[in-house]
Amino acid sequence: MKAAALAALLVLAALPAQAADCPLDLGHGTGLVVYSQQFILAVRPEPATIEVGQAVVLHLNVCTKSGEPAELTRVDAQLDEANVIAEAHIVPGIEGRYRVEGLVFTAAGAWEIGFEVAGGGKAERLTHDLIAK
């Protein structure tokens, strides 16, 4: 039993330092992580269940893979097979933390939410699919 606990502590100690610099846990036990070769985004929607016509707030931590804060430059969402686009207002926080407001999913279906991110001399668009009911 003690050997297993020691092994778990060694594994935790071996984790990269970025976990401390770019927390992926936004609290409340909900959220998702979107990542690419350059960036990591931890995203928690509020409310957790996305309903048609209801405004959604996104809480984000945006970082480079090396754990440095990155800049969130744009957030939008597009409904599959339609030209319905929702844009949001970005409220910057400190050290890669952001609050995205005013995102409203106007129809039921599969939406692709896009995050434009810059940092470390690079820029990229990351996406994730969400379902609005």
Q: pLDDT digit string (tens) for 8-39?
A: 333 333 333 333 356 666 665 667 889 899 99
pLDDT band at 123 (very low <50, low <70, confident <90, very high): very high
Buried b (16+ CB within 10 A) or exposed e, 14-37: eeeebeebbebebeeeebeebeee
List the chain domain ranges: 2-132
Instruction: Could you please state the CATH topology (level 3) that the domain comprising 2-132 is classified under.
Output: Immunoglobulin-like (2.60.40)
pLDDT band at 87 (very low <50, low <70, confident <90, very high): confident
Q: Under a CB-based contact definition with an 8 Å cutoff, are residues 40 and 22 in contact?
A: yes
CA angle 102, 106, 112 (to 5 degrees): 80
Burial category of 121 from C-beta neighbours within 10 Å (exposed 0-12, middle 13-18, buried 19 and up): exposed
